[in-house]
Amino acid sequence: MSSYAVNRLVQELFRQPGLLERFRERRGEVYDEYGLDPAQRAGLDEGTPPALAAAGVHPILQMHFLLASNPDVARLITVDAYRDDAAKEA
Amino acid sequence: MGRLVAAGACSHILMSPQGVEERARAIVSGIRELGRRLVAKQPDLVVVVSSDHMFNVNMSLQAPFCVGVADEYVPFGDMDIPREPRPGHRAIAEAFVAQAARRGFDLAKAEELRPDHGVALPMMLIDPARTLPIVPVLININMEPVPGPARCHALGGVLRETIDTLRPAGERIAVLATGGLSHWLNIPRHGEVSRAFDQEVLGSFVRGHPEQLTRLTPAEIVEQGGNGGLEIVNWLFMAGAAPGWAGDIVYYEEMPEWFTGMGGLELREAA
């Protein structure tokens, strides 16, 4: 099976209003909607970079998934610490 | 004729400064210093050349090159970048796309681009007041085949031709490339940084001779600088618009904690 189904789901997580929330609450329903096969579902359920890679998720979209699913990654990859400085300079 | 008045390049990511405060400060200061130098040349607009991180140009439609032609841009908001609008510059964007078509480059045009951190993060630091119009140029390093280094360099030359021949007298344009330097993102060697690759790239540009980089294949760049290292094709576009310009490195930091080498440079026209 093409890996596009799983990539299509991940690339929509931040683009389609409400999808991320639905994924967090009822991911099985979202898997069905996007037609993921068992291996792709297992890859997202495990959610580590090696598991995502094995499921065929593009390296950049792996970052999308980690930002969406792992609070530690979201806390690391943010400009929050620099925004106030930028606002002061404006 | 218009005039290219400033050219530079910088990395386009920041992460939490926790534990790396000093180097993070040096990077932010470096990007701001580069910005001060560009702004001091009083450009009317900045052409910002970056990769998109699949927030706009994803797998559903894969265009090698995409030019924003809109009147205004609101950031996508990834990395918590404020979704505050910044003006675009339709006239030069359209002129560039038209000139590129005459030179064998058929470019995608975007009205609804939502710049991600590649464009929005450097501009947040360089022009926090959001008064400088931008023209985003996106080079798609996330597709196969990747637009090659020589072709990206040549397309920068078409931008320069557009500026020199099609734009009104007195119009002042800056070009800023963003991305890089070495990083291996979610592929084998994830998290490595290659100081050797980064220094070779920075040196080639500031000496005014990046031509050797145009002879690399994308696979060779990935081998030496990682899949994220491919973003030097954005820098080659910038250098293609500024042939013969040399300059200096504004900052460089190895940031394995952020999984990347980070650097910036300014190029200037020979006196």
DSSP state of A58: -
Q: What is the pLDDT of residue A1?
A: 62
Q: CA quadruple B204, B49, B140, B168: dihedral positive or negative?
A: negative
Note the ipTM here.
Answer: 0.95
Q: Does B265 touch chain A (CB under 8 A)?
A: no
pLDDT for position A90: 65
Specify the pLDDT at position B271.
Answer: 75
DSSP string, chain B: --EEEEEEEE-------TT-HHHHHHHHHHHHHHHHHHHHT--SEEEEEE---SSSS-TTS--SEEEE--SEE----GGG-----EEB-HHHHHHHHHHHHHTT---EEESS----HHHHHHHHHH-TT--S-EEEEEE-TTSSSPPPHHHHHHHHHHHHHHHHHHSPTT-EEEEEEE--SS---SSTTTT---HHHHHHHHHHHHTT-THHHHTS-HHHHHHHHHHHHTTHHHHHHHHHHSTT-EEEEEEEEEEGGGTEEEEEEEEE---
Residue B58: count other Cβ atoms within 10 Å of its Cβ: 23
Set out the domains of chain B in order of their start, with CATH numbers.
3-11+22-184+196-266 (3.40.830.10)
Let me know: does B100 contact B139? Beta carbons within 8 Å.
no
Using a 10 angstrom Cβ sphere, with 0-12 exposed, 13-18 middle and 19 or more buried, the burial of residue A58 is: buried
* Closest CA in chain B for residue A88: B128
| Torsion over CA: B212, B218, B221, B227 (sign) | positive
DSSP assigned state of A2: -
CA angle, A39 then A58 then A36, to 5°: 30
Q: Between chains, do B60 and A82 touch, taking CB under 8 Å as contact?
A: no
Could you tell me the residue ranges of all domains in chain A?
4-89
Q: Do A90 and B80 touch (CB under 8 A)?
A: no
Residue B258 to residue A35: CA distance in whole angstroms? 35
The predicted pLDDT at position B106 comes to: 98
Q: Whole-angstrom Cα distance, residue B249 to residue B49?
A: 19
For chain A (90 residues), the mean pLDDT of every run of 10, in chain order, is 93 97 97 98 97 98 97 96 75
Q: What is the pTM of this model?
A: 0.97
Q: Give me chain B's average pLDDT, please.
A: 97
Tokens of B144: 């196969």
Q: Count of H helices and E strands in chain A?
A: 8, 0
C-alpha to C-alpha distance for B261 and A1, rounded to whole angstroms: 37
Rounded CA-CA distance B119/B126 in Å is 11
B227 touches chain A (CB under 8 A): yes
Judge residue B182's burial from the number of C-beta atoms within 10 Å of its C-beta, 0-12 exposed, 13-18 middle, 19 or more buried.
Answer: buried
- Picking from B176, B185, B178, B252, the residue whose alpha carbon sits closest to that of residue B225 is B185
Contact: A77, B79; criterion CB under 8 Å: yes
Percent residues over pLDDT 90 in chain B: 99
Interface list for B 143-182 with A (CB within 8 A): none
- Which residue in B33, B146, B186 has the most chain A C-beta atoms within 10 A of its own C-beta, making it the best mutation to test that interface? B186
* B-chain residues near A81 (CB < 8 A): 14, 16-17, 24
Q: Is the bond leading into B107 cis (omega within 30 degrees of zero)?
A: no
Please tell me the predicted confidence (pLDDT) of residue A83: 82
Q: pLDDT of chain B along its 271 residues, tens only?
A: 999 999 999 999 999 999 999 999 999 999 999 999 999 999 999 999 999 999 999 999 999 999 999 999 999 999 999 999 999 999 999 999 999 999 999 999 999 999 999 999 999 999 999 999 999 999 999 999 999 999 999 999 999 999 999 999 999 999 999 999 999 999 999 999 999 999 999 999 999 999 999 999 999 999 999 999 999 999 999 999 999 999 999 999 999 999 999 999 999 998 7
Convert the pLDDT of each residue in B29-88 to its tens digit. 999 999 999 999 999 999 999 999 999 999 999 999 999 999 999 999 999 999 999 999
Give the burial class of B237: count Cβ atoms within 10 A of its Cβ; 0-12 exposed, 13-18 middle, 19 or more buried. Answer: buried
